[in-house]
């Protein structure tokens, strides 16, 4: 028997009978499945690429000879391994960052001036820049190993994305193998997945004909199509791809952005040909104006132009700040506008009690998206624009930003309207809503806030929503809707309750599995997702608390400085002389100012906030923040730069020190390890000498960090 099978394996396709072909096809399909799973799902191929290709080829030849044996489940009818329940996660070998925006010519001048300053270039040194259209799609990272597409991922949160390999493999623009002999061993191509206008309209027409939901715009259609669990659905959607950069790479083909994009084209990867290398801001702006003129005729959506420093050694030196590179900027097109009728003004209550007026509009399409809500910011804005219910208004929408009411078309105002009366009570809990007076300026805050604090359900729900949001705890299956429902039922009151949901399930409320729309499986999934977040990075934890003025960047700075919640809490709880020291220490962190200090102080001054944090901490394990620090002689040291540096700009020096794990402070104290003093150093130098702080020249510093 075994002998006969072995013989079958060896036999040429042309010599097999139909019965034998049935047996052989089943065998080959099983083998291919096993290898697909090993390769795509487990990241652990069992056979060489050549052996795998041979299996595929034999399978294909057999199906070609016996077309009636092709089954729906045949490997030829799909790509990769069978769909999993949800997407696996892929940690990007290099983070996928976003771009800083420029909105006008001044911002573009500032960008180039910043680059010049950072690199300490002479005013007459030309800076070559590449201008590229900014495609409005979703970014993807394609990892090629040995020239073969190994996996592909969405951007996700920039560090971890979703494994959409099998879906990306169905996009015809994306090569399975890179062409050419000189392809690096490892090369991650980054680019944009998008849908053309024509394909988008045709897709929506099909969806409508089949009674399926339509997509609001091409971007949403592209995102929805890529994130399908069944790759055959993605395959049926007309997705396209343009590369615009790269991530992890064992070698980079060239020394400029231009070189690399040209090399990518040579490897068979599509790159937008509408790009230009220029050497002046005027030329950048001319390219921008030209593209804006063509915008309406282009077959796909673009929302601006990206400018990138061409030289890669300069890109390297410029590095990143927070989540964006210093060597690139996105020059956005102005927002698209439309006219519609404002039906009424609703008041929403945020997590800090802020009352935000929202315009409810007769739905209208703006830049391809249907808009029915727009923000009116605050009561002063409503008064300034004199917006009244019933008015015809101009609204605008730019990218992912909430649409705004720009102005009222006074000619169209119906008779008998009254100016809008902003409420002085919270529409949710009826507590007084007040505008606090700034003690420094004596001016009333523009924001009216509900004074209900803990008794206001709107604030409580918004705080919980913030806590579970994407950049905070990011708990899968616990979104805004679920939080509100759980709150209503009394399942959830504070963040710590989330981590007790499973333990207390069914005690005061019915078991979650019995709740409408839930079941044993979905409840178990939620409990598992919550468990996954019981261990959390310190910065996400801090950001999740939703303290005023503590955004992601500040949370990261604080987490990096204090390393553990205990240390942060100790600093904030310090008394007397220790308090002054602790405050000075906080203010010495570059990027932390008085507003943050006050916000932290008032948050932790409230006993119920301290209790809520302690309660939460008892449920969690806090991890130090992940960073890309290179260990060095200055890791963990505190450095202050002063005076004029000759070889680096102050910003480059600072960025370099931070990459090496040093803390850069703005003022000298007993905690300073090094003062790096350039020419004309003043009072900081005197103070450092008084305190016995080690003073280094710029050269000595560069030597210390091994960059001399």
Binding footprint of ligand IVH on the chain (CB under 6 A): 97-99, 132, 134-135, 139, 192, 244-245, 306, 325, 328, 330
CA distances from 271 to 174, 242, 507, 653 (A): 11, 5, 58, 35
Name which of 325 and 335 has its Cβ closer to ligand IVH: 325
481 catalytic residue (yes or no): no
Smallest distance, ligand IVH to C-beta of residue 90, A: 16
Selected catalytic residue, list 18, 60, 94, 134: 134
The structure tokens listed for 443 are 């001016």
Which phi and psi (to 5°) does residue 50 adopt?
Answer: -65, -45
How far apart CA 142 and CA 149 sit, in angstroms, is 7
Least distance in angstroms from the C-beta of 402 to ligand IVH: 17
The enclosing H or E element of 503 equals none
User: How open is the CA angle 132-134-401, to the nearest 5 degrees?
Assistant: 150
- Separation of alpha carbons 283 and 291, rounded Å: 12
Cβ proximity to ligand IVH, 313 vs 488, nearer residue: 313
139 vs 651, beta carbon nearer ligand IVH: 139
Give min distance, CB of 226 to ligand IVH, in A.
13
**What does the alpha-carbon distance between residue 228 and residue 590 come to, in Å, rounded to a whole number?**
43
Please give the C-alpha separations between residue 636 and each of 249, 633, 657, in angstroms, as whole numbers.
29, 9, 10
- The CB-of-330 to ligand IVH minimum distance in angstroms stands at 5
Cβ closer to ligand IVH: 306 or 496?
A: 306
Q: Tell me the C-alpha distance between 15 and 364, whole Å.
A: 66
Number of residue whose CB is nearest ligand IVH: 139
- Compute the half-sphere exposure of residue 563: CA atoms within 13 Å on the CB side of its CA: 4
Of 99 and 472, which CB lies nearer to ligand IVH in the complex structure? 99
CB nearer to ligand IVH: give 326 or 448: 326
How far is 337 from 279, CA to CA, in rounded Å? 33
Q: 523, 514 in Cβ contact below 8 A?
A: no
- CA contacts within 13 A on the Cβ side of 669: 18
Of the pair 96, 345, the CB lying nearest ligand IVH is at 96
Q: Which residues are catalytic?
A: 134
């Amino acid at each position: 028997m075994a002998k006969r099978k072995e013989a079958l394996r060896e036999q040429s396709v042309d010599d097999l009978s139909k019965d034998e072909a049935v047996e052989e096809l089943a065998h080959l399909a099983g083998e291919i499945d096993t290898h697909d799973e090993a390769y795509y799902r487990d990241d652990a191929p069992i056979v060489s690429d050549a052996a795998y290709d041979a299996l595929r080829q034999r399978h294909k030849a057999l199906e070609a000879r016996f077309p009636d044996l092709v089954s729906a489940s045949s490997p030829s009818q799909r790509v990769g391994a069978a769909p999993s329940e949800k997407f696996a996660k892929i940690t990007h070998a290099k983070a996928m960052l976003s771009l800083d925006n420029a909105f006008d010519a001044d911002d573009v001048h500032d960008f180039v001036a910043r680059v010049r300053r950072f690199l300490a270039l002479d005013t007459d040194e030309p800076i070559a820049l590449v201008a590229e259209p900014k495609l409005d799609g979703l970014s993807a990272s394609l990892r090629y190993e040995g020239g073969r597409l190994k996996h592909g991922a969405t951007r996700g949160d920039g560090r971890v994305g979703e494994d959409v390999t099998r879906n990306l493999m169905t996009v015809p623009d994306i090569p399975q193998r890179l062409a050419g002999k000189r392809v690096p061993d490892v090369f991650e191509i980054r680019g944009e997945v998008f849908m053309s206008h024509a394909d988008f309209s045709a897709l929506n027409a099909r969806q409508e004909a089949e009674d399926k939901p339509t997509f609001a715009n091409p971007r949403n259609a592209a995102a929805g199509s890529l994130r399908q669990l069944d790759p055959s659905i993605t395959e049926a959607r007309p997705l396209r791809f343009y590369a615009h950069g790269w991530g992890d790479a064992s070698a980079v083909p060239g020394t400029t952005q231009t070189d690399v994009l040209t090399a990518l084209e040579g490897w068979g990867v599509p790159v937008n040909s509408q790009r230009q290398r220029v050497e002046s801001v005027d030329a950048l702006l001319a390219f921008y104006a030209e593209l804006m003129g063509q915008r309406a005729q282009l077959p796909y959506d673009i929302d601006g132009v990206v400018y990138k420093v061409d030289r890669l050694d300069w890109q390297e030196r410029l590095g990143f700040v927070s989540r964006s590179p210093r060597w690139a900027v996105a020059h956005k097109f102005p927002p698209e506008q439309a006219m519609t009728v404002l039906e009424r003004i609703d008041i929403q209550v945020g997590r800090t009690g802020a009352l935000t007026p929202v315009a409810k509009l007769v739905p209208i399409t703006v830049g391809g998206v249907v808009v029915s809500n727009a923000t009116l910011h605050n009561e002063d804005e409503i008064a300034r624009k004199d917006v009244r219910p019933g008015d015809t208004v101009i609204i605008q929408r730019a990218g992912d930003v909430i649409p705004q009411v720009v102005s009222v078309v006074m000619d169209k105002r119906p008779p008998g309207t009254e100016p809008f009366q902003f409420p002085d009570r919270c529409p949710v809990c009826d507590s007084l809503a007040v505008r606090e007076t700034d003690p420094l300026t004596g001016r009333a805050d523009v924001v009216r806030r509900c004074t209900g604090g803990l008794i206001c359900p709107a604030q409580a729900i918004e705080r919980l929503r913030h806590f579970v949001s994407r950049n905070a705890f990011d708990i899968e299956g616990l979104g805004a809707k679920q939080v509100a429902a759980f709150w209503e039922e009394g399942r959830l009151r504070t963040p710590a309750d989330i981590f007790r949901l499973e333990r207390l399930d069914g005690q005061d409320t019915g078991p979650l599995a019995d709740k409408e729309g839930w079941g044993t499986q979905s409840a178990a999934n939620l409990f598992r997702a919550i468990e996954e977040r019981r261990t959390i990075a310190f910065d996400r934890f801090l950001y999740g608390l939703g303290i005023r003025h503590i955004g992601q960047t500040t949370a990261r700075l604080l987490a990096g400085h204090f390393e553990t919640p205990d240390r942060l809490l100790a600093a904030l709880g310090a008394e007397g002389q220790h308090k002054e020291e602790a405050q000075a220490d906080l203010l010495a962190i570059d990027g932390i100012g008085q507003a943050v200090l006050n916000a932290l102080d008032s948050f932790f001054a409230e006993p119920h906030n301290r209790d809520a944090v302690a309660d939460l901490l008892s449920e969690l394990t806090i991890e130090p923040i992940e960073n890309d620090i290179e260990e060095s002689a200055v890791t963990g040291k505190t450095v202050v730069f002063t005076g004029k540096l000759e070889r680096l700009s102050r910003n480059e020096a600072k960025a370099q020190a931070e990459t090496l794990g040093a803390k850069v402070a703005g003022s000298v104290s007993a905690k300073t390890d090094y003062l790096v003093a350039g020419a004309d150093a003043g009072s900081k130098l005197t103070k450092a000498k008084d305190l016995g702080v080690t003073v280094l020249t710029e050269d000595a510093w560069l030597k210390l960090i091994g960059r001399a």
